[in-house]
Structure 1
Amino acid sequence: MVAQSIAGPVIRVRGLEKSYGKLEVLRGVDFDVARGSIFALLGSNGAGKTTVVRILATLLKADGGTASVNGFDVATRPADVRESFSLTGQFAAVDEILSGRENLVLVARLRHLKDPGAIADDLLRRFSLTDAGGRKVSTYSGGMRRRLDIAMSLIGNSPVIFLDEPTAGLDPEARIEVWHAVKELAGYGTTVLLTTQHLDEAEQLADRIAILHQGRIIANGTLAELKRLFPAASVEYVEKQPTLEEIFLSVIGGDDKSDTIGTSN
C-alpha cells in the first residue's frame, strides 16, 4: 500500500549522475520538489532534462547519487515509485480511432477502477473536453489531444505527474490550452515536475525553476529569486546623432513653414 502523504519534499534528488561512455549527461544534480507545486526543469536540448525524468520514472538507472519519489527510493523501491506517479512524454499517447471519452474509459478499466464512465466524464469536464468527448480523437486539435493525454495520466489519482516537454510541437494557442490544464493539476493538489526549453513556459507555470546546464543545476529558485541573480539595472547616457531632418529644421529655425525644399524663386 503506497503512502498518501510524506513529510518533506515529494521529490528529492541528490548528486544524480549519468554517463553514456565518455559523455557525462548528469554531473551531480540536486533539487527538491514540494508537494502540490509545479517545478520546472529548464534547459536547452541535450541538457539532461529527459534523463532526469527517466531516472525518476525508474526507466533508467543512475550511475551515482540518490532520488526518491513520494518517499520511495527509485533504486530500492521502484514498484512503489511507479504507483506514485504518472508520466506524460513529449508526444501525445492517445488512440485516434477511439473518442476522447473511450480513451479515458479504456485506461480506467485497465487500472481496474470502479465506474470508469464517471471517471471519464469528470476528467472531460476538468479539462474542458466535455463537448468533444464523443468525437474521435483524430478530429482533435493539437492542444485538445495534449489535454486528453494529460487527463489520461491522472486516472488513478497519482500524487505526482511528470510532464516531459508538454507543449512540444504545439502552436501558441494550443500551448496556452495546455498551460491552463497544468495549472488545473496543481489546483487539485497534484505535484507537477515538467521539463521545458521555453523560458516563457517556465515563467508562466512554475512555482520554482531549476536551470539545468551541461549536466548541472546552475540556478534554482522562484522567479523572483532568479531575477535577483540578474545584475541591477543601470542608466546609461548615449549621445544621439542628429538626423538630416533635425539638422535642416535647426538651420532654418524650425518654425518657418512658409519655405519648403525645392521652392523656386
Structure 2
Amino acid sequence: MSAADGVTGGLLASELRLIVTRRRNIVGLTVLCVLPIVLGVVMRVYGPTGDGPPFLAGLTGNGLFLVLATLAVEMTVFLPMAVCILAGDTVAGEAGLGTLRYLLVVPVSRRRLLAVKFAALLIAAAIGVVAVATTAGVTGVALFGAGDLVTLSGGALGFWPALGRVALIAGYVTACLAAVAAIGLFASTLTEQPVGAAVGAFGWLVVDQVLGGIGAVDWLHPFLLSTYWSDWAGLLRDPVDVTGVLGGLISPAVYTVVFATAAWARFTTADVTS
C-alpha cells in the first residue's frame, strides 16, 4: 500500500469519525429512529386505517411491514433532508471554518479528497438506513410478531426470506440516497455556507417531488429523481420484478454520476479556500 493510500484511509476514517460523533448528527439519527417506534405504537393501539402508506394494513400479519412503511414515509422528507445536511458540511463546512486549506496540504489530490468525502457520505447514508430499518424491524416484530409476509403477487414469504427482501429494499433506498448525496456534495462546492448548501440541495428535491405530483407536466416525470423512489415495490413480488427494480436504479445512478462529476469539476478548478 502506498503512502497516499494510507493517508486516504486515514482521511476516510477521520471523516467518518467526525460524522458519527458530531452531536447534531447523533440527535438527527435518533429522531429518524424514533419515528418507526411512534408509528408502530400508534398502529398497535389504533390499528390500520385507510390513510397512510398501503403497507400499514399488513402490519398485523408481519412486523417487517413496519420497515417498509417507515422507509416509504421517511423517503418523502426525513432521510433526504438528513443526507442534504450531512452533504452541506462536506466541503462548505470545511471551507467556512478555514480547515479545508489544511486538508489540501496533505499528500492527497483534490480529486481523492473529494472521493473520500463522498465515500464517507455514502457510508453515513447507509448507516442511517440500516439504523432506521433495524429499529423499525425490531419494533415491528415486538409489536406485531413475525408471521408470513404477504407479497404484492398474493403469495407469502416466511420470516427469513422476507427479511432478505427487506434488506434488498434498504439497499435500494440507499442507492437513491447516493444520488441525494451527490447533489448535496455539488451544492457544497458552490459556497462556504453549509446551511446554504443543505437548503439548496433539499430545495432541489422539494421541487422535484412537487413536479412529480403535477399531472400537467407528466412528460417530465421520467426525468425526476423522486419518480423512482418507490420502485423497490418490485422486490415484494414473487418472483421479484428484476426488470422494474433495475430500471428504477437507472435514475439515481445517472444523477449520482452527473452531480458527482459536477462536484469534481468545481472542486478541482475553483478556489474553494478563499
Query: Under a length normalisation based on structure 1, what TM-score does the superposition of the two structures give?
Result: 0.26
Structure in which a larger fraction of residues adopt strand: 1
Q: What is the TM-score with the length of structure 2 in the denominator?
A: 0.26
> Which is richer in helix?
2
Q: Decide which structure has the larger Cα Rg and report it.
A: 1
